[in-house]
Amino acid sequence: MYIRFITVVLIFAYILPLSAQTTDSLKTEILNEVVVSSSYKDNVNRNTALQVEVANKSFLYEHFTGNLMQTLENIPGIHSMDIGSGFSKPMIRGMGFNRISVTENGIKQEGQQWGTDHGLEIDAFAVERVTIRKGPSSLLYGSDAMGGVIEISQLPAPSENQVYGEIVMLGKSVNGTLGGSMMSGIKKNLWHVKLRFSEQHFADCRIPADTIVYLTQYLPIHNRKLKNTAGYERDFSLFSEYRKGGYYANYAVSDAFQKVGFFSGAHGIPDAARLRDDGDSRNIDMPYSSVNHLKISTRQQYFRNKSTVTFDAGFQNNHREEWSLFHTHYGNQPVPETDPDKELVFSLNTFNSSLKTDLIYSEQWRHTFGFDVQYQRNSTGGYSFLLPEYRRFTAGALWLSVFRPAGSRFSLSGGVRYDYGMIGIAASQDVYLEQYLRERNYDDALIESYKWRSHSVNRHFGDVSGSIGFVWTPNVSHQLKVNLGRSFRLPGANELASNGVHHGAFRHEQGNASLVSERGWQLDASYTCEYDGIWFAASPFVSWFDKYIYLKPTGEWSILPHAGQIYRYTAVEAIFSGTEVELRIKVFRNLTYRITGEYVYTHNRDEHTPLSFSPPASMRNRLTWTYKTFQFNIELQSVATQNRVAKNEDITHGTNLLHLGATMKIPFHDSNVDIAFSLNNIFDTKYYNHLSFYRKVEIPDTGRNFQLLIKIPFKKKLK
């Protein structure tokens, strides 16, 4: 009944308009409902030596997919590591997991981001602007930002008192997505409040293949749908802000819930019997995961004379559960009395706070001083084991200065940061595994090493990061930026103490309690040029790490049943290098051509092999035709073959994909209804995503997808 109701609303909303026929300031003018703004992206890039990309509201709308990271993939250097159609996690220039920091309203998003099968829990409908900082950002954002930052922020409040809002509806054919979002806001004098509720339901994902191959075994895919990849997402958020004189404050609460099935052939050992069609493409059967992310945050800001003091604080609870029919590899493990099918539980509580002061002594000098602390506690549960319980505390202090000589188009920036970290990991003993090994007459030394899933670990870390860079803007048409940074990252609990079968990854993962901080030097440059309808940008980079942490296949066979080879976290010397290039040409008055390209080179200097999860080179050619309020685009996406792979990683062949898209605005009452169509992978081409969670079991990426997005805004002025 619920799904039918959403379908009726989608059809009604489509027919109705047809029959009707950190907060950088923006200079805004309102002229007959058209908002004209100075470029936020240009303002940001003038004040940082790192390359910054900005996805504004129009970009997010044009490329919207219902999944934030898949939307941002249209920006060169940004990749989405997909887990079916439900989860995605970010990657910047070949770096992902705990090397990328995602912040929302000034607070870093904290979850189980270390795993390939853990995505972001952020409502894509609620995202209004995204600022992406490529390269080492540890100086301002802490150790986990050594690969870059994805910064989600709110747009400025309306200038007039008003009640406003929007209704958004989404439909996708590739997995039967039916979703929508409702937002209502009010701006009244000093207060501005927004409330949003979003929900998406999707069915089993369709792929352009009838079979998959796992370890030479052919497994059937009935009706070309991945069984048990259906799911739903339900999000709620409240954002309020108050501004009076030199005081500004905001308060935000959000709760994101996702429940998604795991494709049965990608959890444990694939089996043809488990892949038989059950006749229902929307049910969620075991195995599945559910995750709830609660976040509460506030920003308190004071402006006085030439100084600004900003205080951010937040609390997060990330609760993730993985459910699978109870199974034991030992035979002697009893069925749990409560929730017998709850396989794994991770519950992470995080407290954040930071204090920063900006001082502008003159037109030439600007200084930033800051201090931040974070405390985490992670508890675990379930009948299986992968990661022990732990607590983690970090604190950091920073200083950054920017010098811009009077009348000069040159600016120099530099800063330094020191971070301290402590992690305490609880010991965990597996009595069932110990008994299992004794029954099979293993020697005492081996039993002793295996029965301890994790030993007690108490480690302290401290390290320095810093950067120096310059920005040269000789005129409005050219800009050159160079930045040299030293960054580091504290090892995570999984890298220090994980020890168990990670079913989704098909391997026994083992931590290494002796690991030290991950350290490296990174050199980034960028050049942009804009002249007479032509815009060009190039961003080369190179990074060297003497202690880069990765999962290394050891060649040791695990004695855990169905575990295979042991993969152990190891530190090596590694190199990253590459570039992104973008060219935009205004061919005619209404026709624009855009080409983007990217390349990432990774090298493990100890093993003389590439690093795993290295994104292949790719290119996008896009033609956009605009006429009044209508826009049409056609895009050719080309992905090169990735034959530079790590040990036990498969080569992924390249492909060419053709996409179509169109947007239009239809007048409706005092506003416009926005409608966006897209048709991706027009020819239903079978191809593999090298970064996909499902690549290991030869599952191709999604097939042809038609998408319809409708946005109906409304507003009413208040006295």
The pLDDT tens digits of the residues spanning 409-419 come to: 889 999 999 99
Q: Which domains does the chain have, with CATH numbers?
A: 163-717 (2.40.170.20)
Q: Is 266 helix (H, G, I), strand (E, B) or coil?
A: helix
Give every strand in the sheet of 107-108, ordered side by side.
52-55, 129-134, 148-153, 100-104, 107-108
CB 173 within 8 A of CB 124: no
Spatial separation of the C-alpha atoms in residues 588 and 126, rounded to whole Å: 35
HEC sequence for 9-77? HHHHHHHHHHHHCCCCCCCEEEECCEEEECCHHHHHHHCCCCCEEEECHHHHHHCCCCCHHHHHCCCCC
Q: What pLDDT score does 445 carry?
A: 85
Two tokens, residue 29: 């003018």
Distance (Å, whole) CA 319 – CA 317: 6
Residues contacting residue 523 through CB under 8 Å, at least 6 positions apart: 482, 483, 484, 485, 541, 542, 543
| Contact between residue 519 and residue 546 where contact means Cβ atoms under 8 Å apart | yes
Per-residue pLDDT tens over the stretch 381-421: 998 888 889 999 999 999 999 998 887 888 999 999 999 99
Rounded to 5 degrees, φ, ψ at 661 are -160, 155
Rounded mean pLDDT of 617-639?
95
pLDDT at res. 29: 39
Whole-number pLDDT of residue 26: 37
Q: Where in 476-617 does DSSP place strands (E)?
A: 478-489, 499-502, 507-510, 518-531, 534-557, 565-586, 591-604
pLDDT at res. 551: 82
Quick one: tokens of 540? 């080369």
CB neighbour list of residue 119: distance below 8 Å, 6 or more residues apart:
69, 83, 86, 87, 88, 89, 258
Tell me the CA distances in angstroms from 133 to 45, 52, 451, one per residue in order: 10, 5, 44
pLDDT tens figures, 425-450: 998 888 888 888 888 888 888 888 77
Are 132 and 55 within 8 A, CB to CB?
yes
Give the model's pLDDT for residue 363.
81
Distance CA 637, CA 625 (A): 18
State the CB neighbour count (10 A cutoff) for residue 244. Answer: 10
Measured between alpha carbons, how far apart are the two ends of the chain, in Å? 42
pLDDT over 50 at 11, yes or no:
no
Q: How confident is the model at residue 503 (pLDDT cuts 50, 70, 90)?
A: low
pLDDT(7) > 50 = no
The dihedral built from the CA positions of residue 140, 142, 144 and 147, taken in this order, carries a sign that is: positive
- Whether the per-residue pLDDT at 135 is higher than 90: the answer is no
pLDDT tens digits, residue range 273-331? 777 888 888 999 988 999 999 999 999 999 988 899 999 999 999 999 999 888 776 77
CA distances from 485 to 280, 414, 491 (A): 53, 9, 19
> Does the pLDDT at position 159 exceed 70?
yes
Among the residue ranges 48-52, 483-487, 591-595, 603-607, the one predicted with the least confidence is 48-52
* Percent over 90 (pLDDT), the chain: 53
Are the CB atoms for 345 and 318 separated by under 8 Å? no
Could you give the CA distance from residue 416 to residue 139 in angstroms, rounded to a whole number?
A: 7
pLDDT tens digit sequence for 210-227? 888 766 678 888 888 888
pLDDT tens per residue across span 513-570: 899 999 899 999 999 999 888 999 999 999 999 989 988 877 777 777 666 778 889 9
Beta strand residue intervals within 141-279, DSSP E: 148-153, 162-172, 177-188, 191-202, 211-214, 217-220, 231-244, 247-261
